[in-house]
Amino acid sequence: MARTEAVFRLFSAALLPLGKALVSLAPIIASFLLLTACLQSPDFDSLLREPTAQEIEEAQRYLEAFDVPLPKEWTFEIFRMSDDASIRVGRAVPRSPKATLLYVPSYTSSQELVSEFLSYWYENGYEVAAMDLPGQGGSIRRKDDYQKTYTGDWGYYGQSVSEVTRYLDGTRVSDGPLIVIGESMGGHSVLRSAHDKGLEAADGLLLPVPAILPNTHDRAPLWYMRMVSGRAVRSGRGSEYAPTQGPWFPNKFAPETYQHCGKRPDRIFKNEALYRLRPDLRVGGSTNEYLFGIFQSADALSDSSTLPQLQIPVTLVTAGDEIYVQTAISQTLCADVLRTCELVHIEEATHCVHIDPPEVQSAIFSALDSLVDKAQGYAR
């Protein structure tokens, strides 16, 4: 009996530090469990359906009333990457163009969505081109679920920008500067292209609200999202939708969802209207591999040894009413990594600058005109 009590006391003494550690970690463990519960995806199977006739009619009325179409001279073509992946490229060339622009749209976006920007620049004498990133618009899609993000390899998005930029440089009409514009996801992809030394043909970069890192504060801390997505990738679930993410569905649109992303009621419904009428343009939520990939790529950009060597002028735009991406890392990248970078902060802008009020768009247009002037000295 005495021996049993001695063993019990020894065992208890050994567990005491562990017990104290667990008590001290209790708040963290509780938060972890709470975050996991909050990040459960809804039952998308119950939401999936095709738009009703009424919803289609609503979308048609909306676009007829508010849409700014692509330039009437706009033509599409399919560019084949070095691995034969198809990238949809569009272009319109005015008479005597003063410079060439390549626009790389944001996540879930396409050339049709940013038509207001493209039309404005065309009408103001620019040769305008745009591309759809892999997994978006009319470019290559996944075969298992065409709405899913195409890959978690952000170097591949950068590669697509590199190859289209070189192609455009060899086929453009203007002999003025070639400016590559990347919005949000497009901005990250453009920077990744530059990091991988793929923008030797560009004379300047315009980066409105680049998505270097997402802003996940309303759901979970960045470290937690990185851990969860990384664990999913390592366990073979990289191609699955990330927590809270799923396919597009017709009744997804609600005005309150977009109150911080674009402040024009005559524009905020355009993406959903296009998706109702054009199934081929639909994009769903992000996958685990896509989310984990952006963290890895952000590390590469922040520690880049090639971006500081970039000689062409760069203009990086941040928004004062920003809730979708991390602003601080973009500003740090501009100040500490990109030596030729000028920061333009628009306090009244949201993340969706392409559907912001005219005064915000005017600031973007002015930033581009100024960049083109700077790039004149860099044009080859």
Write the CATH number for 306: 3.40.50.1820
- Would 268 be classed as within a structural domain? yes
How many C-beta atoms surround the C-beta of residue 119 within 10 A?
18
Q: What six digits make up the tokens of 249?
A: 């569905």
The C-alpha atoms of residue 280 and residue 277 are separated, in whole angstroms, by 9
Give the pLDDT score at 48.
77
Give the pLDDT score at 22.
38
The verdict on 115 and 24 lying in the same domain is: no
Give the pLDDT score at 19.
47
Q: What six digits make up the tokens of 54?
A: 């009424």
Global confidence as pTM: 0.88
The verdict on 294 and 356 lying in the same domain is: yes
The verdict on 163 and 286 lying in the same domain is: yes
Give the domain extent around 7: 1-38
Q: What six digits make up the tokens of 314?
A: 């760069």
Number of DSSP helices (H) and strands (E) in the chain, helices first:
10, 8
Give the pLDDT score at 255.
56
The verdict on 107 and 189 lying in the same domain is: yes
CB-based contacts of 103, cutoff 8 Å, min separation 6: 111, 114, 117, 118, 128, 129, 130, 131, 181, 183, 186
The verdict on 242 and 346 lying in the same domain is: yes
Beta-bridge partners for 91: 75, 129
Identify which of 53, 116, 47 has the alpha carbon closest to the alpha carbon of residue 268. Answer: 116
The verdict on 22 and 143 lying in the same domain is: no
The verdict on 79 and 34 lying in the same domain is: no
- Would 21 be classed as within a structural domain? yes
The verdict on 14 and 122 lying in the same domain is: no
The C-alpha atoms of residue 259 and residue 378 are separated, in whole angstroms, by 40
The verdict on 321 and 188 lying in the same domain is: yes
- Phi, psi for residue 95 in degrees, rounded to 5: -70, 135
- Would 380 be classed as within a structural domain? no
The verdict on 16 and 138 lying in the same domain is: no
The verdict on 3 and 58 lying in the same domain is: no
How many C-beta atoms surround the C-beta of residue 2 within 10 A?
6
- Would 330 be classed as within a structural domain? yes
Averages of pLDDT over runs of 10 residues in the chain (380 residues) are: 46 46 44 49 70 93 92 97 98 97 95 95 98 98 96 98 98 97 98 97 97 82 92 97 88 58 78 92 95 97 95 97 92 96 95 89 96 81
Give the pLDDT score at 270.
87
Give the pLDDT score at 190.
98
Cβ 290 vs Cβ 151: under 8 Å: yes
- Would 45 be classed as within a structural domain? no
- Would 245 be classed as within a structural domain? yes
The verdict on 9 and 107 lying in the same domain is: no
* Number of domains within the chain: 2
Cβ 141 vs Cβ 167: under 8 Å: no
Give the pLDDT score at 291.
96
